[in-house]
């Protein structure tokens, strides 16, 4: 963590840690988000979730939300695990350097109900306990339509992106390799400028949210089909969660279950709305080649397994075997 961010975290810790390691008298919790207010899920689901908790508790449970302006997205798991924050709303790619397992799970097939029945959240929770956090919520998109790529120029006549530089977290490695693109890792705040200056030729992102960041102003081609399953993770500091009053935990868990259901229900609608909005703003939908389409699902899953195995072979193998045993992986 950079020194200035360490100072911020240390200052916050002097306030937050007493609540994280002792029973809470005043239910005033702090949540980190890996995304700022431009991210639709934060506005449409996370902020309503916080209000719903407040309403359900009749004002006795308050959650204060901070974003990457407080702690950068790639540095948020550790301060949550150490008790600086009570909750974290994030994605596995943002803490890949610590653990690749929440990234690997997106290689699974199926949707929310299949994952619930199989006990996927509980399996991930056991892994993440070692980092001082509990996984208390796991939202899952509709399979096969979680991510896409926005481009500055059309797809190549060969149907691929050979020679293009495309922004993306390591999650997209299998797709980039299959399409012939070179990956460039950038935080969201740097994507617009990098596209505008031609430092990258495209950006991979979930199938909604691009319009909010105005990337369509500098990238006019949306590549289809979409691919993969995307997840949203809700972590709690384990010590705080274990000691939290049962009444608070019950309310928070119930509202998270509703959020998970709503996320799956709304995902397709948000994607459809996003595509229509981008088209209205001058973006053209382009298709990758038939040969590339045929390899898309396999490239996504194989890329994730290969990537995460390089980081932690033992845990990745265990997760894959779990998925195979539940009919969610090959």
250 and 207 fall within a common domain = no
Question: Which pLDDT does position 46 carry in this prediction?
Answer: 94
- Determine the structural domain holding residue 199 and report its residue range: 147-228+270-310
Question: Which pLDDT does position 26 carry in this prediction?
Answer: 52
In the chain, DSSP finds a helix count (H) and a strand count (E) of 13, 11
Per the structure, the count of domains in the chain is 2
133 and 167 fall within a common domain = no
250 and 289 fall within a common domain = no
* Residue 9 maps to a domain: yes
What is d(CA 305, CA 109) in angstroms, rounded to the nearest whole number?
13
Cβ–Cβ under 8 Å, residues 90 and 139:
no
> CA–CA distance from 299 to each of 16, 22, 123, 178, 190 (Å)?
43, 46, 25, 7, 27
User: HSE-up of 280 (CA within 13 Å, CB side)?
Assistant: 7
What is d(CA 63, CA 228) in angstroms, rounded to the nearest whole number?
31
Question: Which pLDDT does position 237 carry in this prediction?
Answer: 98
This prediction's pTM: 0.81
What is d(CA 75, CA 81) in angstroms, rounded to the nearest whole number?
11
120 and 212 fall within a common domain = no
* Residue 326 maps to a domain: no
Contacts of 179 (CB under 8 A, 6+ apart): 160, 161, 162, 164, 288, 292
What's phi and psi for 58, nearest 5 deg? Answer: 55, 40
Question: What's the token pair of residue 217?
Answer: 């102003």
What's phi and psi for 4, nearest 5 deg? Answer: -65, -35
Per-residue pLDDT of the chain (330 residues; tens, 9 = 90+): 443 444 444 444 444 443 443 444 557 999 999 999 888 889 888 999 999 999 999 999 999 999 999 999 999 999 999 999 999 999 998 999 999 999 999 999 999 999 999 999 999 999 999 999 999 999 998 877 889 999 999 999 999 999 999 999 888 999 999 999 999 999 888 999 999 999 999 999 989 889 989 999 999 999 999 999 989 999 999 999 999 999 999 999 999 999 999 988 888 888 999 999 999 999 999 999 999 999 999 999 999 999 999 999 999 999 999 999 999 999
* Residue 318 maps to a domain: no
197 and 54 fall within a common domain = no
* Residue 243 maps to a domain: yes
Question: Which pLDDT does position 327 carry in this prediction?
Answer: 96
151 and 178 fall within a common domain = yes
């Amino acid at each position: 963590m950079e020194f200035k961010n360490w100072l911020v975290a240390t200052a916050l810790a002097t306030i937050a840690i007493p609540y994280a390691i002792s029973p809470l008298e005043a239910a005033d919790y702090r949540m980190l988000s890996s995304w700022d207010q431009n991210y639709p899920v934060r506005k449409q689901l996370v902020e309503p979730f916080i209000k719903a908790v407040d309403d359900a508790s009749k004002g006795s449970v308050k959650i204060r939300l901070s974003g990457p302006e407080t702690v950068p997205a790639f540095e948020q798991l550790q301060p949550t695990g150490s008790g600086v924050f009570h909750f974290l709303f994030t994605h596995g790619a943002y803490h890949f350097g610590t653990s690749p397992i929440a990234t690997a799970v997106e290689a699974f097939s199926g949707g929310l109900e299949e994952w619930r029945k199989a006990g996927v959240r509980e399996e991930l929770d056991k892994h993440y306990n070692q980092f001082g956090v509990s996984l208390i919520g796991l939202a899952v998109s509709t399979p096969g339509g979680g991510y896409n790529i926005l481009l500055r120029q059309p797809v190549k006549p060969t149907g691929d992106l050979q020679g293009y530089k495309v922004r993306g977290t390591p999650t997209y490695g299998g797709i980039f390799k299959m399409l012939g693109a070179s990956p460039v890792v950038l935080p969201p705040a740097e994507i617009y400028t990098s596209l505008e200056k031609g430092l990258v030729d495209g950006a991979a992102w979930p199938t909604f949210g691009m319009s909010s960041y105005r990337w369509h102003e500098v990238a006019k081609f949306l590549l289809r089909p979409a691919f993969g399953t995307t997840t949203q993770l809700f972590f709690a500091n384990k010590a705080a969660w274990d000691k939290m009053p049962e009444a608070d935990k019950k309310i928070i868990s119930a509202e998270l279950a509703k959020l998970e259901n709503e996320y799956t229900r709304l995902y397709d609608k948000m994607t459809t709305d996003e595509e229509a909005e981008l088209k209205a703003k001058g973006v053209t939908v382009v298709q990758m080649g038939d040969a590339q389409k045929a390899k898309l699902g396999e490239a996504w899953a194989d890329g994730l397994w290969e990537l995460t195995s390089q980081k932690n072979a033992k845990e990745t193998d265990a997760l894959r075997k779990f998925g195979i045993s539940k009919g969610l992986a090959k």
